[in-house]
Amino acid sequence: MSTTIFTKIIQREIPARIEYEDDEVIAIHDIQPQAPVHLLVISKEPYPTVNDVPEGQVQLLGKMMMVAKQLAQKFSIAESGYRLVMNCNPDGGQVVYHIHLHVIGGKKLGTMA
């Protein structure tokens, strides 16, 4: 799997505002936030898309959701509401091919297109 901008962040080769980190994931603030809260929960294993995650690694996806939930609580958007998004491939709007979950909230979000 090729090196991505997120791998460089994980390896501290480029800076990011890190909110959480453990052996499996890192969570950072998005550089171009779409809402007052916009975090990215990034898998340390650089699967390019969710399509590439093997069935044996399904717990990784659950872990990403649990970290997202905890961050929503930390940023006080758990009750007001938030959106979790994982884009996949060109039609899904994916830009960085290293799986990550967007945690977006802090304002009333529009309906999805």
- Which of 38, 98, 100, 102 is labelled catalytic? 100
Asked if 16 touches ligand 5GP (CB under 6 A), the answer is yes
- 5 vs 65, which CB is nearer to ligand 5GP? 5
CA–centroid distance for 89 within its chain: 15
Q: Is 100 a catalytic residue?
A: yes
The β-bridge relationship of strands 82-85 and 100-105 is antiparallel
If you compute the radius of gyration of the chain from its CA atoms, what whole number of angstroms results? 14
- Tell me which of 49, 61, 94, 107 binds ligand 5GP, using CB under 6 A: 94
- What is the chain's length? 113
- C-alpha to C-alpha distance for 33 and 21, rounded to whole angstroms: 20
> Which residues in 17-76 contact ligand 5GP (CB under 6 A)?
28-32, 40
The binding site for ligand 5GP (CB under 6 A) comprises: 5, 16, 28-32, 40, 87, 93-96
